[in-house]
Amino acid sequence: MSIAYIALGSNLGDRHATLSAAVRRLRAEPGLRLVASSEVYETAPLGCAPDSGDYLNSVVAVETDRSPEGLLKLLLQIERTYGRVRSEINAPRTLDLDLLLYGDREISTPNLVVPHPRMHERAFVLVPLAEIAPKAIHPTLGKSISELLAAVPRDDVRVATSNTAVTPGQLSGLRGLVTGSTSGIGATIRDAFTTQGADVLSHGRRSLPGRHIAADLSDISQVDRLASEAWELAGGLDVLVCNAGADTLTGDAAKWSFDQKLEALLAVDLKATMRLARTIGARMKERGSGCIITIGWDQAETGMDGDSGQLFAAVKGAVMCFTRSLALSLAPEVRVNCIAPGWIRTAWGETASEVWQERVREETPLGVWGLPEDIASAAVWLASPAARFLTSQTIRVNGGVVG
């Protein structure tokens, strides 16, 4: 794996949205891991037509198993996805992705020059690059990025501010609880709910400041306490997301026996989900409204080889079946649906081996990892009034892996 630095730029359309989308696309690429990202800076166009708009620029660092040529091919593909049309030099563009550095490699071919031949002259490149890699060395010039930046004027480079208008969120006024929301998918769902106007309680095993409840969901008594405390603290719940799950793929748990992993998954992923959803669901039904979202697995019904496949198919398959039955029990007052993620780039996905990266490429029709944001978007929609005619369903968020 090598570290590469990529410059991003845009001066057409919704520049902030385009840069954000491009970074998300890089994060989703198998065999490529985002390790650092700079602030977004705004600068006047350099060498462009007089009526060209100002540019937004940033730099990201990625760890990749792609060759420099393969990485360039990917960058050009992403540019095309976001409407880049390469015409005359310095023409305005929706997205510009430049490979600045690739380890300590020096490359000069008709299609690729690394280091980027003009990067050492451009403050709009050096400022964000120095933010994330001040000690990186330009292999041709033998100087650090900080040293190169000190030699160029930088007065026109300023931190950009977003012009995104504040609009009422899809979940304005709703009160929610997201279990397992201190990291990963759960934290992303919590943040998305908050952004969309919901008043959200977070949950995890450890105590944290703010509107947070600590509870170990492998203990039934703590599951019951979480249900009561959350309902009382929120003044009633409109949305419950049962996201908490036992991590049996990373850390010490990865070395557990099959039986130890099964017990942990049954306790947290299945029993706690059932007990919490039944308890809070009954209160929602009595009050007259509510929405519950559970988390399944897209391959639970089709199967996957190996111990992990057997474990997750059994436990998450049970969650999906329970969801359908609970939906019938709580209708029409409460809607209950399940999100079944596919290959989502969680902590395990960040460090998965080359074999697993290639498996994602081969098995996913869209060819990339899903991101926690993809699950959060589905959760926001399911919790919103837009999904008011949807209950007892399993929504597969998996890039087309399982139909």
Q: What phi, psi does 133 have (nearest 5°)?
A: -145, 60
pLDDT at residue 280, as a whole number: 98
Alpha-carbon distance values, 203 to 217, 224, 225, 268, 345 (Å)? 10, 13, 12, 13, 21
What are the pLDDT digits (tens) for 130-173?
999 999 999 999 999 999 999 998 878 999 876 655 456 899 99
Instruction: Give the integer Cα–Cα distance in Å for 323 and 318.
Output: 8
Q: Identify the residue whose tokens are 């130890």.
A: 260
pLDDT at residue 388, as a whole number: 94
Q: Identify the residue whose tokens are 């609970």.
A: 326
Rounded to the nearest angstrom, the gap between the alpha carbon of residue 174 and the centroid of all alpha carbons in its chain is 23
pLDDT at residue 108, as a whole number: 95
pLDDT at residue 191, as a whole number: 97
Instruction: Give the integer Cα–Cα distance in Å for 161 and 35.
Output: 23
pLDDT at residue 24, as a whole number: 94
Three-state helix/strand/coil letters over 193-262: HHHCCCEEEEEECCCCCCCEEECCCCCHHHHHHHHHHHHHHHCCCCEEEECCCCCCCCHHHHHCCHHHHH
Region 277-305: mean pLDDT is: 95
10 strand-pairing partners: 56
User: Does residue 66 surpass a pLDDT of 60?
Assistant: yes
pLDDT at residue 165, as a whole number: 52
User: Does residue 88 surpass a pLDDT of 60?
Assistant: no
pLDDT at residue 324, as a whole number: 98
pLDDT at residue 251, as a whole number: 87
What is the pLDDT of the chain when averaged over all its residues?
92
Q: Which domains does the chain have, with CATH numbers?
A: 2-159 (3.30.70.560), 175-397 (3.40.50.720)
Supply the residues annotated as catalytic: 84, 93, 96, 98
Instruction: Give the integer Cα–Cα distance in Å for 366 and 396.
Output: 14
Tokens of 371: 């991101």
Mean pLDDT lowest among 6-20, 193-207, 308-322: 6-20
Q: Are 74 and 103 in contact (CB under 8 A)?
A: no
Residue 56's pLDDT band (cuts 50, 70, 90) = very high
Spell 47-59 as b/e; 16+ CB within 10 A means b.
ebeeebeebbbbb
What are the pLDDT digits (tens) for 93-115?
789 999 999 999 999 999 999 99
pLDDT at residue 155, as a whole number: 75
Region 300-319: mean pLDDT is: 94
What are the pLDDT digits (tens) for 351-374?
888 888 998 988 899 999 999 999
Q: Name the residue among 336, 401, 334 with its Cα closest to residue 374.
A: 401
pLDDT at residue 62, as a whole number: 97
Tokens of 72: 């360039």
Enter the DSSP assignment of 385.
Answer: G
Residue 201's pLDDT band (cuts 50, 70, 90) = very high
Tokens of 32: 């490529």
Instruction: Give the integer Cα–Cα distance in Å for 121 and 137.
Output: 15
Instruction: Give the integer Cα–Cα distance in Å for 346 and 362.
Output: 19
3-state secondary structure of 331: coil
Tell me how long the chain is: 403
Written as one string, the DSSP assignment of 72-137 is HHHHHHHHHHTT----STT---S-EEEEEEETT--EE-SS-EES-TTGGG-HHHHHHHHHH-TT-E
Find the helix or strand (DSSP H, E) in which 329 lies: helix 307-330
Region 300-323: mean pLDDT is: 95
Enter the DSSP assignment of 58.
Answer: E
pLDDT at residue 50, as a whole number: 55
pLDDT above 90 coverage of the chain, percent:
80
User: Dihedral angle at the C-alpha atoms of 364, 368, 373, 377, nearest 10 degrees?
Assistant: -40
Q: Name the residue among 211, 209, 208 with its Cα closest to residue 199.
A: 211
Mean pLDDT lowest among 159-168, 257-266, 279-288, 309-318: 159-168
Region 215-225: mean pLDDT is: 97
Instruction: Give the integer Cα–Cα distance in Å for 398 and 6.
Output: 27
Q: Identify the residue whose tokens are 């201190």.
A: 182
pLDDT at residue 98, as a whole number: 95
